[in-house]
Structure 1
Amino acid sequence: MRKAVIQLENLSCPSCMQKIENAVKGLNGIDQESVKILFNASKVRLDFDSDSVAINDIEKAIEDLGYPVVKSKVKSA
Structure 2
Amino acid sequence: MEKTILQLETLTCPSCVRRIEGNLSKAKGVASAVVKFNASKVEVEHESSLSKETINDMVSNLGYKVLSVK
Q: TM-score range by the shorter chain?
A: over 0.9
| Distance in 1 of aligned mates of 2:60 and 2:44 | 16
How many residue pairs get aligned? The number is 70
Q: 2:59 aligns with which of 62, 65, 70?
A: 62
Q: Deviations over 1:3-24 (max 9, x none)?
A: 1111000000000111111111
Q: 2-side partners of 1:44 and 1:57: how far apart?
A: 14
Identity of aligned residues (%): 37
Deviation at 1:66, TM superposition (A): 0.7
Give the structure 1 partner of residue 2 of structure 2: 2
Match of 1:43 in 2: 41
Normalized against structure 1, the TM-score is what? 0.85
Secondary structure, counterpart of 2:30 in structure 1: coil
Q: Which runs of 4+ in 1 moved over 3 A?
A: none
**Two-structure CA RMSD over aligned residues (Å):** 0.9
